[in-house]
Amino acid sequence: MWNFLKSLNTPELRLAWAIAIAADALQIFAMPLFAEGALSPADGALDLIVAVILTRLLGWHWAFLPTMAAEMLPGFDLVPTWTMAVFYVTQKSMAQTKSEPEILPPGPAPAPRP
């Protein structure tokens, strides 16, 4: 758990997590405003704003597409879909950056050590 929290070292990652958690909390705790699902203008506006902000912060990712579709279904506002999408995107990007090999600049090979 601590390794995951330490990995949120950029302001973009921290802000993306904060926005996703805030959007899900707002939809869960202010349920009467969002109970109609896709028919609620407040729900649609919030989801569109969150999708645009997260895409700007984290870049486009396919995980945002099913999240947006799930948010349009009544009752799915009670599931923290934005938080799960940000978790998936950030875990995926952190795993890719850790597994990439180091690329050395071109030049002569270092001399062997005696």
Predicted pLDDT at 50 = 93
Provide the residue ranges of all domains of the chain, joining segments of one domain with +. 10-94
Rg (CA), the chain: 19
Per-residue pLDDT of the chain (114 residues; tens, 9 = 90+): 556 666 677 888 889 999 999 998 988 887 766 666 555 777 788 889 999 999 999 988 888 988 888 887 777 777 899 999 999 998 865 555 555 666 767 777 667 776
Cite the DSSP H helix spans in the chain: 2-6, 11-29, 31-34, 41-58, 64-71, 81-99
Q: Which of 31, 28, 8 is nearest to 18 (CA)?
A: 8
Predicted pLDDT at 32 = 67
Q: Quote the CA–CA distance of 51 and 67 in Å, as a whole number.
A: 9
The whole-model pTM stands at 0.71
Predicted pLDDT at 19 = 95
Judge contact between 73 and 109, C-beta under 8 A.
no
Predicted pLDDT at 103 = 72
